Amino acid sequence: MDTEQPTTTAVSIDPGPAKVLGPGHDYGTVTDKIGGVVFMPFTKTPRQMFIGFACGFVLVNIFLVAVTWLFIRGVGVWGIRIPIAWGFAIVNFVWWIGIGHAGTLISAILLLLKQDWRTSINRFSEAMTLFAVACAGMFPILHLGRPWLAYWLVPYPNTMWLWPQPRSPLIWDVFAVSTYATVSLLFWFTGLIPDLATMRDKARGPVGRKIYGVLAMGWRGSARHWSRYQKAYLLLAGLSTPLVVSVHSVVSFDFAIAILPGWHTTIFPPYFVAGAIYSGFAMVLSLAIPVRRWYHLEDLITMRHIECMAKVMLGTGLIVAYGYGMEAFIAWYSGNQYERFMYMNRAWLGHYWWTFALLITCNILIPQALWSRRVRMNVGAVFVISLVVNVGMWLERFVIVVTSLERDFLSSSWNRYYPTVWDWATYFGTIGVFLSLMFLFIRGLPAISIFEMREVVHQLTHPEEPSPAHGD
């Protein structure tokens, strides 16, 4: 029994943009390297992890205060006022749920497309999906006004003999988001089962053995089990692929089916889905780049991964740019005075013109730097651009929600929207919830799929055989 399993023997050498795995790895070393992050003693844990978690935790507390105040006083503590009934809550909801989409895209769609570079980042981005959806899901509920009655959204037999309205996109949203959260959790957990067994067998303390043991459910790597497992995993990927497209389409219906100028647009579903993937990849990069450095994972998350993600960001960013272009074109081409006014107001007449200018800068102008290979190969530059895109995608939702609502059909009902300190506290609070959960995840569970990395090792050492793809 080898009790002293080395945790840091494999040296971190970035093999560059051609490889998905550094040199000198075998089944054992990838296991030790990834598992070693979890079993690293507290004294050896990178200091940045503690600082990061502390920042996240402070923000969680701010979130708790903000939500408590909201519960005491009601939604009036926020800046929402008629006709701007959807303020930060919906901006943040759409932003968070969009971020989640990259996780499903990486784990499901890239799996079906047999993209070998997905393996090092899929677990990580699935966790990101899960936590982002958790943050997203809180906002519509907090926005209800009486959040303790949130269960009224679900169709259930009740003494009031009332039922939700199935023709409304808002109720589609309830089904879409709850399904998305559940399926993301299932997908993530299913992927974790074999690695939880590895953790169970690697754990030296009795507590760790018990916890991982219970979670691994007695997984023993039987050939029959693997066969069913791969089939189930492949089917989950197949089911998640249309799901991820449907979720953000439904979110966009919340806007597109309303008759408000600036919302009532057929381009919304594809443009929202592209924007979701855009912001999600930005968030994966914003998280993976620092973690890769702190834990010296350069030989597992290589420049190949960073470059591929940068390219996906550039591609989806261009689709988003097309969406903006179409909005402007249709505003003019439709000849509809309300549409034209809305666009003029959004872009330069309104008092929030600068958010639109910033949005174009962050989402369209700055990311064009990624055309250059030198920029894509520069980790620092990619990191900065990913942060810029995160900000830009938040601004996009702000512009769509706020500038459209501020100026509807009747000038007598126009109003201005200003977020309050509680809006900001709730928003930054959820960033804290997200970061804290991410840091706890990296500390407690293997952040890279170990068994799939073993498959990568196998593939690299046997290049002549067909790749051991999932399922058939």
Partner 1 sequence: MEIEYTGQSGLYGLMASFDRPEPLLEAAREARAEGYRDMDAYAPMPVEGLAEAVGFRSNSVSRIVFAGGLMGAIGGFGLMWWISVIAYPHIVDGRPLNSWPAYIPITFECMVLIASITAVVGMLALNGLPRPYHPVFNVPQFERASRDQFFLCIEATDPKFDLAATRRFLEHLKPLEVMEVEA
Inter-residue contact 138 to 161 (CB < 8 Å): no
Rounded to the nearest whole angstrom, what is the least distance from the CB of residue 239 to partner 1 in the complex?
5
Q: How far is the CB of 237 from partner 1 (least distance, A)?
A: 10
Contact status: 153 vs partner 1 (CB under 8 A): no
Query: What minimum distance in Å lies between the beta carbon of 289 and partner 1?
Result: 28
Q: Does residue 389 contact residue 313 with C-beta atoms inside 8 Å?
A: yes
The answer to whether 26 contacts partner 1 (rule: CB under 8 A) is: yes
Specify the 3-state DSSP secondary structure of 162: coil
Q: Which of 1, 72, 82, 113 binds partner 1 (CB under 8 A)?
A: 1
**Selected range binding partner 1 among 157-165, 329-337, 338-346, 362-370, rule: CB under 8 A:** 157-165
Contact call for residue 250 and partner 1 (CB under 8 A): yes
- Which of 96-104, 139-147, 218-226, 407-415 is the region at the interface with partner 1 (rule: CB under 8 A)? 218-226
Note whether 272 binds partner 1 by CB under 8 A.
Answer: no
Of 281, 255, 237, 253, the C-alpha closest to 101 is 281
264 is an interface residue for partner 1 by CB under 8 A:
no
91 sits in which H/E element: helix 88-104
**Other CB atoms closer than 10 Å to residue 117's CB: what's the count?**
20
Which one of 58, 112, 171, 366 is in contact with partner 1 (CB under 8 A)? Answer: 171
Phi, psi values for residue 81, rounded to 5° = -155, 150
Helix axis angle, 169-202 to 88-104, nearest 10°:
50
Q: Does 113 bind partner 1 (CB under 8 A)?
A: no
**Cβ 254 to partner 1, closest distance in Å?**
11
| Residue 156 interacts with partner 1 (CB under 8 A): yes or no | no
448: closest CA among 301, 287, 294, 327?
Answer: 301
Q: Does 218 bind partner 1 (CB under 8 A)?
A: yes
Q: Per CB under 8 A, does 122 bind partner 1? A: no
Q: Does 225 bind partner 1 (CB under 8 A)?
A: yes
Residue 164 lies near partner 1 (rule: CB under 8 A): yes
Write the single-letter amino acid at 334.
S
According to CB under 8 A, which one of 38, 49, 75, 243 is a site residue for partner 1? 243
Residue 439 C-beta: closest distance to partner 1, Å: 25
Which one, 18 or 223, has the nearer CB to partner 1? 223
Binding test (CB under 8 A) with partner 1, winner from 42, 224, 410, 411 = 224
Q: Does 189 bind partner 1 (CB under 8 A)?
A: yes
Instruction: Please report the sign of the dihedral spanned by the C-alpha atoms of residue 298, residue 303, residue 308, residue 312.
Output: positive
Considering the complex, state which of residue 27 and residue 57 has its C-beta at the smaller distance from partner 1: 27
* CA atoms of 286 and 280, how far apart (whole Å): 10
Sign of CA dihedral 161, 82, 354, 70: negative
Q: Which residue type, as a one-letter code, is found at position 317? A: G
Angle between helices 223-256 and 169-202 (to 10 degrees): 150
Q: Is residue 455 a contact residue for partner 1 (CB under 8 A)?
A: yes
Residue 221 lies near partner 1 (rule: CB under 8 A)? yes
Cα gap 250→176, rounded to integer Å: 7
For CA atoms 390, 392, 393, 397, the dihedral sign is positive
Bridge partners of 84? 81
Distance of CA 462 to the CA centre of its chain: 34
Which residues are at the interface with partner 1 (CB under 8 A)?
1-2, 26-28, 31, 155, 161-167, 169, 171-172, 175-176, 179, 182-183, 186-187, 189-190, 194, 197-198, 200-202, 213, 217-232, 235-236, 239-240, 242-243, 246, 250, 253, 451-452, 454-455, 458, 466, 468, 470
